[in-house]
């Protein structure tokens, strides 16, 4: 279980997270929704210890991520896989080396065992036989799949997805969503998916939450979100240009948005 308690994070004068509280239950897929720049990716980086919060705590299975030593954090990270927005594959390595890096670093498996696990994970994401290709030879969708294979290589308990469908065509995005559900069913992992893609959120999420103005504004099932009467939730769920979420925008943009709607 992952518990986020009163998380605050600022970058200079910009206060991104202002007291985030959220519980992610074991075995569920929680989708974190929100507009661009609201701190969704920051939330994931805080959970895996790539950033430190200014205030608050992140408890993963009873361990406070902030208080762990570098070595203990490394041990915890072996139980958390992360798929980055642009996949973040290592350019200089082959697909097999990318997927097997974490296993090689652990030094508990032989080369043959690692090769077998790599092949197995690549098969799980539907990419058998591409072990010797370099990331530059892969399409965007394939890179995401390899990133996912790398994230699940060490059989993690948790998988964090940072914008898994961003930059993909609708068909590939749909395939990635199916893959996320598939991995969830096969591996019984707990997942956190950060996205602003509503289709993806409804498809993969057991529960959704909406990050707005540095807080978790809403938590509920996809149905709850679709039927919510709350103006903020409704604006996001319907993708409307005007509403309480955009009140902070300067006048010309709001006028432009109103004009678009009028047309």
Partner 1 sequence: MPGRPVRTDTFIQPFVLVGDKLFDAAASAGEFAVFLSRLLAELFPGLRYQRLIFEQCSFIGIQSLPVVFLTSLFVGGVAALQTAYQMSGTMPLIWVGTVVSKSVFIELGPVLTALVVGARVSSSFAAEIGTMRVTEQIDAMETLAVRPIRYLAVPRLVAATIMLPVITIIANSIAILGGMAVAVLRVGISLNLFNRGMRLLFDAQDVYGGLIKSFVFGIIIAVQGCYYGFQAAGGAEGVGVATTKAVVASCVMILVMDYFLAEVVFRLIFPA
Residues that bind partner 1 (CB under 8 A): 45, 48-50, 70, 74-75, 77-78, 80-82, 84-86, 88-92, 101-102, 105-106, 150-151, 154
Q: How far is the CB of 199 from partner 1 (least distance, A)?
A: 25
Residue 92, by phi and psi: left (phi above 0), alpha (psi -120 to 50) or beta? alpha
The smaller minimum CB distance to partner 1, of residues 82 and 210, is found at 82
The smaller minimum CB distance to partner 1, of residues 150 and 196, is found at 150
Q: How far is the CB of 170 from partner 1 (least distance, A)?
A: 25
User: Got the DSSP string for 159-220?
Assistant: EEEESTTTTS-HHHHHHHHHHHHHHHHHH--EEEEE-S-HHHHHHH-SEEEEEETTEEEEEE
User: Got the DSSP string for 99-152?
Assistant: HHHHHHHHT-S-HHHHHHHHHHHHHHTT-TT-TT--GGGS-HHHHHHHHHHHHH
The smaller minimum CB distance to partner 1, of residues 76 and 119, is found at 76
Q: How far is the CB of 202 from partner 1 (least distance, A)?
A: 27
Q: How far is the CB of 105 from partner 1 (least distance, A)?
A: 5
Q: How far is the CB of 87 from partner 1 (least distance, A)?
A: 8
d(CA 28, CA 31): 10
C-alpha distances (whole Å) from 218 to each of 36, 46, 200 are 17, 20, 18
Q: How far is the CB of 135 from partner 1 (least distance, A)?
A: 10
The smaller minimum CB distance to partner 1, of residues 86 and 231, is found at 86
- Who contacts 23 (Cβ-Cβ below 8 Å, separation ≥6)? 1, 2, 3, 4
The smaller minimum CB distance to partner 1, of residues 31 and 152, is found at 152
3-state secondary structure of 73: helix
The smaller minimum CB distance to partner 1, of residues 94 and 203, is found at 94
């Amino acid at each position: 279980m992952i518990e986020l308690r009163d998380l605050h994070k600022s970058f200079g004068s910009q206060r991104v997270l202002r007291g985030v509280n959220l519980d992610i239950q074991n075995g569920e897929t929680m989708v974190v929704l929100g507009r661009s720049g609201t701190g969704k990716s920051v939330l994931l980086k805080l959970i895996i210890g790539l950033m430190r919060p200014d205030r608050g705590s992140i408890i993963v299975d009873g361990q406070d991520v902030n208080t762990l030593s570098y070595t203990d954090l490394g041990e915890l990270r072996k139980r958390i896989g992360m798929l980055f927005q642009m996949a973040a594959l290592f350019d200089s390595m082959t697909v097999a080396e990318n997927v097997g890096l974490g296993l090689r670093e652990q030094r508990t498996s032989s080369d043959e065992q690692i090769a077998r696990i790599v092949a197995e994970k690549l098969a799980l994401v539907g990419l058998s036989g591409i072990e010797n290709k370099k990331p530059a030879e892969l399409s965007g969708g394939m890179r995401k799949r390899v990133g996912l294979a790398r994230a699940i290589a060490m059989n993690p308990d948790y998988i964090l997805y940072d914008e898994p469908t961003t930059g993909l065509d609708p068909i590939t995005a749909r395939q990635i969503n199916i893959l996320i559900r598939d991995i969830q069913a096969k591996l019984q992992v707990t997942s956190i998916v950060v996205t602003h893609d509503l289709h993806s959120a409804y498809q993969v999420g057991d529960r959704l939450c909406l990050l707005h103005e540095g807080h978790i504004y809403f938590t509920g099932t996809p149905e709850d979100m679709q039927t919510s009467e709350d103006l903020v939730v409704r604006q996001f769920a319907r993708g409307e240009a005007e509403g309480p979420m955009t009140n902070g925008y300067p006048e010309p943009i709001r006028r432009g948005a109103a004009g678009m709607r009028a047309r």
